[in-house]
Structure 1
Amino acid sequence: MQEATEHKTPVTTLGPLETRLMDVAWTAGRSLSVQDVVDRLGGGNYKTVMTVLNRLVEKEMLARELDGRAYRYHPTHGRDEFLRTAADGLVRGYVEAFGDDAASHLADAARVASPPADKPADPQPLPVAYRIYHSPTSRKGPLFIAGAAAAIAAVFILSRRRKS
């Protein structure tokens, strides 16, 4: 028995515990019970883990199926698909909120994240935030991408104030 929800906006950020739980789910390779997740975390409050797993179901990051008297949870999307969707959503929101100037700032960021001249470009370029996330010098994680997008937005806002 699989449950569906009416969540329409893609999730673009995860909290610290949500990130840890999704990492457990993505690396498990099978559906997990709440106790399985607690064990893989190396401990934690069972009820807290269960509550956050259920919130991830509401956000459509996880699906759950009844197995006897307990639910088993598994990811609805892979890690790379989530990162791509999250990065696209953050960048799209930034451009929608700040317009053409934001696109210019993102183009500058894309030049920084572009592959070296001796490496051929991909036939379908990846989103800027995705390339930054996967660059060898970047910190990893969805929270880093959200923080980077917030930092870019802050720089943009401050630069607009100076122009006025």
Structure 2
Amino acid sequence: MKLSEEGLRRFFGPLEAQIMEIVWSRGEVMIKEVQSLLGEELSFNTVMTVLNRLSEKGHLKKNTIGKGRNRISTFHPVQSKEEFIQEQTRIVTTELVHEYGEIVLNHLFDAVQQADPSLRELLEARIDEWKRDKP
């Protein structure tokens, strides 16, 4: 995770983030389609390499039909954008709490106080729910 970046660039490189947005919006894509949608002068091989790397990292599923010059590969996301963000934020939060516990909770509380009041209400509701369900 790159803390200095914003949005999906925290988790992906700039081109990877653009490609993931395309795949999430389309559902399933071919390399040539992604290349044309990027609107940049990127080679087919560059786009293919990034798609293959995203597949190797487990973010995309690759389906190939045919052989040789008649081979066509399509890619589709393994999880929705929302599922990806849920999973990544859960992982980051869990790791920070396990490693830095009290410090993270104090900073989280401070951040919630400075944020939208609805976040504070959500936090209070979750704490109340936790207290009710606690054995």
Structure 1 residues 60-99: aligned runs within 5 Å: 60-68=58-66, 69-99=71-101
TM-fit CA distance, 1:113: 3.4
| Larger RCO (alpha carbons 8 Å, 6+ apart) | 1
| Cα distance in 2, alignment partners of residues 58 and 113 from structure 1 | 37
Mapped pair 1:35 → 2:32: yes
| Cα distance in 1, alignment partners of residues 101 and 52 from structure 2 | 36
| Cα distance in 1, alignment partners of residues 90 and 57 from structure 2 | 17
**Structure exhibiting the larger radius of gyration computed from Cα positions:** 2
Quick one: which amino acid aligns to residue 55 of structure 1? Answer: R
Structure (1 or 2) with the greater helix fraction: 2
In structure 1, the residue matched to 2:7 is none
TM-fit CA distance, 1:93: 2.2
TM-fit CA distance, 1:112: 3.0
Quick one: which amino acid aligns to residue 47 of structure 1? Answer: N
In structure 2, the residue matched to 1:6 is none
Which consecutive residues of structure 2, in runs of 5 or more, have no partner in the other structure? 1-9, 127-135
TM-fit CA distance, 1:107: 2.2
Structure 1 residues 15-164: aligned runs within 5 Å: 15-29=13-27, 31-43=28-40, 44-68=42-66, 69-116=71-118, 121=122
TM-fit CA distance, 1:60: 1.1
Give TM-score, length-normalised by structure 1: 0.59
Quick one: which amino acid aligns to residue 61 of structure 1? Answer: H
SS for the counterpart of 1:14 is: coil
The one-character-per-residue Cα deviations of 1:53-102 (angstroms, maximum 9, x if unpaired) are 11111111100101331210011111111111111222222222322112
Number of residue pairs the alignment of both structures matches: 111
Which consecutive residues of structure 1, in runs of 5 or more, have no partner in the other structure? 1-11, 126-164
TM-fit CA distance, 1:25: 0.1
| Cα distance in 1, alignment partners of residues 81 and 74 from structure 2 | 19
TM-fit CA distance, 1:23: 0.3
Give TM-score, length-normalised by structure 2: 0.70
Quick one: which amino acid aligns to residue 80 of structure 1? Answer: E
Structure 1 107/47 Cα, relative in aligned 2: closer, same or farther at 3 Å? same
Quick one: which amino acid aligns to residue 55 of structure 2? Answer: V
